Amino acid sequence: MRKQSTLKYLAKNKLIAYVIATIFTILSLLLGISIGTVSVPILDIIQIIGAEIFRYSIDHIDPMYHSIVLNIRLPRVILAGLVGAALAIAGAAFQGLLRNPLADPYTLGVSSGASVGAVVTIFFGISLPYIGAFTLPFLSVVFAFITIFLVLTFARKIDRSMRVETIILTGVIFSSFLGAFISLMISLTGNELKQIIGWLLGSVSMRGWDYIKIVLPFFIVGSMLLMANGRELNAMSFGEDRAQYLGVDVKKRKLVILTAGSILTGAAVAVSGTIGFVGLVIPHLTRTLWGPDHNHLLPLSMLTGSGFLILADLIARTIISPTELPIGVITALIGAPAFGVILIKRRQS
Amino acid sequence: MLEVKQLSGGYSGYSVLKDISFHVAKGELFGILGPNGSGKTTLLKMISGLLPFKEGSIFIKEKKLSQYTQKELAKVVAVLPQHSEHAFSYTVKETVSLGRYAHQSGFLQTWTEEDEKVVQKVMKQTGVEVLQNKNLRELSGGERQRVNLAQALAQEPEILLLDEPTNHLDLSYQKELLDILKTWTRDGTLTVISIFHDLNLAGLYCDRLLLLKKGMINIQHKTNEVLKEDRIQEVYQTDIKKFAHPKVPVPQITLLPKWEKEEQLEAVKITADILQHDKQHIVLKSPIPLKTMSSGVVGAGLGWHQTFVNRHVDRGYSCSNHQEEMMNYLCERGFDPLETVGMMTAVVLDDVSYKWMEEDTLSVFVVVTAGVGNAVDATQSENHSSAFIPGTINTWIFINGKITEEAFIQGMVTATEAKVRALEDQKVIDSVTGTYATGTSTDSISIAATQRGEKHDFAGSITPLGKLISKAVYMCTRESIQKSQKRK
């Protein structure tokens, strides 16, 4: 009973939610920069970043720290944060749209679709005119969109009411199929086998600032589009018919939301490979704590997701140091059991 | 308000509706009826703009449906769906607030004071105000349906569309919901178009009905015209029986179970064998419930009764509420007042007279207790006061057969005519006017039929049944009066 009322109190006080989520993200950020083979004191980190932003010079801090923070750890941590935020907000949106707490870019097969796009780009060495460096994320986004479209069409064919399990099962089928396709291409390349597998399992290491520049525009466009559709997502949580009765232009909004979700997933996969379950666990946790209203759920999931992935990356690179684990291993270790728990809870209620 | 013209269409591949035309005026409560698969929900989906149609047109407030944007439409038409999904646990207030979606504009779509006011108002109207911070999942089915209604009303619609709104609702919620809708349509603030599964609810609440059969309009008219026995029988392909609502002038419809039609029911005969009488009361307990029309103190009117009690009371009996007193009397003696026809008499019960008469397959059993203490000539009754005096001629007629309602009434007339003649032949005089009495001031009668065996449509005085009734009633009344006159 007490737990119930505490949760209700939290759900009603959204300001507290934003404060806590922001503190969590910043703390993760600082920890992510600080910890590693060489530890950097947190105060130094703040000064280094402050000096960089406000363009003043500092001399009392070791220049090695300066280089580690600005050239290695900060881009890595920011990339992890962006990928986590993108996957979490995309997951929250997919869940609301499909009224399905088990939906996320990974379980829906969208991540696999995006991977195919990325692998195809690398395999054939495609570089589209005008967009150059953006070819990889662009094709990932396109493949992600095609995949979600196929998954939903297929699921609707099987079961018009689109039950939770049907959609997830369809996602599994597509993931397996696309995974096989990727394996095939990897076998054909022979050479850079290990590198691609490492990328596939997901990693944010050694990407540098260039990758952030690539993913950022996609991230901004995708998350803006989704956050502008918070109320529509609320309405669609009650069913598409109901949303239409309430005045939502369902066809248009659905297309916008699926496109935005694909943009976010595609971009995230393009820079870091498939990282599963972030989009499942984070929105679920956020919803439990702060309530299902998408106007708040989306930004809060974004904040929490970025902090979560930074921490996951921190664990992945330190736990059996000096060897680095793929980050997807950590998220799956946390995410898969969470998936199971949500499934059991659903069955019970 | 709403005009549908030559509407046809359905789902891809097959058409459901053919040539549907009707209009609904402002402030009407309009019902859509029809068997499963007749196209009710499809029609509603087309009106709500969810489903495109192939031919025809729909006008809402003189504007074509296709010219509305989704948001504009939501400000005029709200829908209360039959099912609602609730994948996530929104609070009641969050849910109701979604109803304001169409009214919010601008990129930021800010929540205005007006929005808050409307949400508070509709929550109060639907009685979900106290639940506003609860999660949808904590609510009962009835409460959830009221939250859905509040959400629809938050749209401030002029037309409300409902798909079997009372589905899954308890009786009290069904009534509550429909009462609210009726009030609002009467105010003229709302026009309601609703699909009904329950013909009786539709008959009770709707102003007009539309009956669909296989995607076509069977009839569109006032409830009385639509709810006709043979029409419903034909459209729904089942056996039904129509009857009048006991309180409201609307038709009601009930199913006829298969066992009722099967004629193998064991024949039951009501005879003198099951009549018991002592100084306190005369009792007849039937082995089966009998269809009864009576004017007793208890169990009056038309109904089904199994026990018949004629109770002796003192001549000076007086009680402010004799009906309640009689009920208590029956209860104390182990009779169920709901299953009993109870009468009172001041006559000494030993003067009872009864006869069993048979003609071919038909038989009647008549029981009469008669005294003529307050005999009255009905043609000059204005000379009498109208105080309640315990009944003096109580007539029970049991018919072993199946009879129609008109036969019940004719049977009463026939029995009364026979009684009048019996009194005249016994030279019973109205002491006030000095003329022949036609009865006493408080006579009661009951006709009860087993409703098994041969059917008799009529019981007028020259029909076989009428002949038996008049003969038996005449003989019994006369004999009972003779007995009581001898006693004096």
Reported as a single tens digit per residue, the pLDDT across A213-262 is: 889 999 999 999 999 999 999 999 998 889 999 999 998 999 999 999 99
Whether residues B288 and B389 share a domain: the answer is: yes
Q: Report the domain count for chain B.
A: 2
pLDDT of residue A63: 83
Interchain contact B101–A (C-beta under 8 A): yes
Residue A209 has pLDDT above 80, yes or no: yes
Superfamily of domain A2-348: ABC transporter involved in vitamin B12 uptake, BtuC (1.10.3470.10)
Whether residues B81 and B193 share a domain: the answer is: yes
B397 in a domain, yes or no? Answer: yes
Does B226 or A78 have the greater pLDDT score? A78
Q: Which residues of B touch A248 (CB under 8 A)?
A: 70, 101
Q: What residues make up the domain containing B24?
A: 2-255
Beta pairing class for B159-163 and B191-195? parallel
Nearest to B109 among A231, A239, A244 (CB): A231
**pLDDT under 50: residue ranges of chain B:** none
Whether residues B201 and B282 share a domain: the answer is: no
pLDDT of residue A195: 62
Interchain contact B193–A (C-beta under 8 A): no
Nearest to B50 among A100, A241, A349 (CB): A241
Whether residues B138 and B230 share a domain: the answer is: yes
Q: What CATH number should be reported for the domain holding residue B324?
A: 3.60.70
Whether residues B195 and B299 share a domain: the answer is: no
Nearest-neighbour CA in chain A from B210: distance (Å):
23
Q: Which residues of B touch A247 (CB under 8 A)?
A: 70-71, 73-75, 101-102, 155
Whether residues B462 and B369 share a domain: the answer is: yes
B430 in a domain, yes or no? Answer: yes
Confidence category of residue A2, pLDDT binned at 50, 70, 90: very low
pLDDT of residue A1: 40
Can you give B377-438 as a three-state secondary structure string? CHHHHHHCCCCCCCCCCEEEEEEECEECHHHHHHHHHHHHHHHHHHHHHCCCECCCCCCECC
Q: What CATH number should be reported for the domain holding residue B50?
A: 3.40.50.300
pLDDT of residue A261: 94
B476 in a domain, yes or no? Answer: yes
Sequence-separated (6 or more) residues with CB below 8 Å from residue A223: A85, A86, A89, A260, A264, A298, A302
Q: Which residues of A touch B13 (CB under 8 A)?
A: none
CB contact under 8 A, A101 and B99: no
Interface mutation vs chain A, best among B91, B98, B148, most A CBs within 10 Å = B98
B264 in a domain, yes or no? Answer: no
Q: Which residues of A touch B78 (CB under 8 A)?
A: 245
Contact A210, A76 (CB under 8 A): no
**Rounded CA gap, A116 and A127, in Å?**
16
Interface mutation vs chain B, best among A156, A161, A233, A238, most B CBs within 10 Å = A238
Does A9 or B487 have the greater pLDDT score? B487
Number of Cβ within 10 Å of residue A183's Cβ equals 13
Mean pLDDT of A338-348: 82
| HSE-CB of A113 using CA atoms within 13 angstroms | 28
Whether residues B305 and B200 share a domain: the answer is: no
**Rounded CA gap, B143 and B355, in Å?**
60
pLDDT of residue B108: 63
Report the complex ipTM: 0.84
Contact A70, A48 (CB under 8 A): yes
Using alpha carbons, list the distances in angstroms from residue B149 to B126, B153, B319.
Answer: 7, 6, 51
Two tokens, residue B282: 């005369």
Whether residues B240 and B276 share a domain: the answer is: no
Interchain contact B75–A (C-beta under 8 A): yes
Q: How does pLDDT run across A299-332, given as a tens digit for each residue?
A: 999 999 999 999 999 999 898 878 888 888 899 8
B58 in a domain, yes or no? Answer: yes
Amino acid at site B162 = L
Q: Give chain A's end-to-end CA distance (angstroms, integer).
A: 18
Three-state SS at A290? helix
Contact B370, B393 (CB under 8 A): yes
DSSP B147: H
Whether residues B318 and B451 share a domain: the answer is: yes
Amino acid at site A120 = V
Contact A136, A270 (CB under 8 A): yes
Two tokens, residue B312: 């002796």
**Rounded CA gap, B464 and A344, in Å?**
74
Three-state SS at B35? coil
User: For chain A, what are the domain ranges?
Assistant: 2-348
B262 in a domain, yes or no? Answer: no
Q: Quick one: B209 exposed, middle or buried, by C-beta within 10 A (0-12, 13-18, 19+)?
A: buried
Confidence category of residue A166, pLDDT binned at 50, 70, 90: confident
CB contact under 8 A, A237 and B75: no
Sequence-separated (6 or more) residues with CB below 8 Å from residue B59: B2, B3, B4, B5, B65
Nearest to A242 among B81, B107, B109 (CB): B81
Confidence category of residue A198, pLDDT binned at 50, 70, 90: low
Q: Which residues of A touch B48 (CB under 8 A)?
A: 244-245
**Rounded CA gap, A201 and B251, in Å?**
71
Evaluated on CA atoms A139, A144, A147, A149, the torsion sign reads: negative
Interchain contact B78–A (C-beta under 8 A): yes
Can you give A203-264 as a three-state secondary structure string? CCCCCHHHHHHHHHHHHHHHHHHHHCCHHHHHHHCCCHHHHHHCCCCHHHHHHHHHHHHHHH
Strand partners, B357: B364
Residue found by looking up tokens 């109580």 in the block:
B394
Q: Which residue of B has its CA nearest to A161?
A: B85
Interchain contact B82–A (C-beta under 8 A): no
CA angle centred on B435, ends B433 and B438, rounded to 5°: 105
Alpha helices for chain A (secondary structure H): 2-12, 14-34, 42-54, 63-67, 74-98, 110-124, 135-158, 164-189, 193-201, 208-227, 230-236, 240-245, 250-272, 278-290, 294-318, 327-348
pLDDT of residue A256: 94
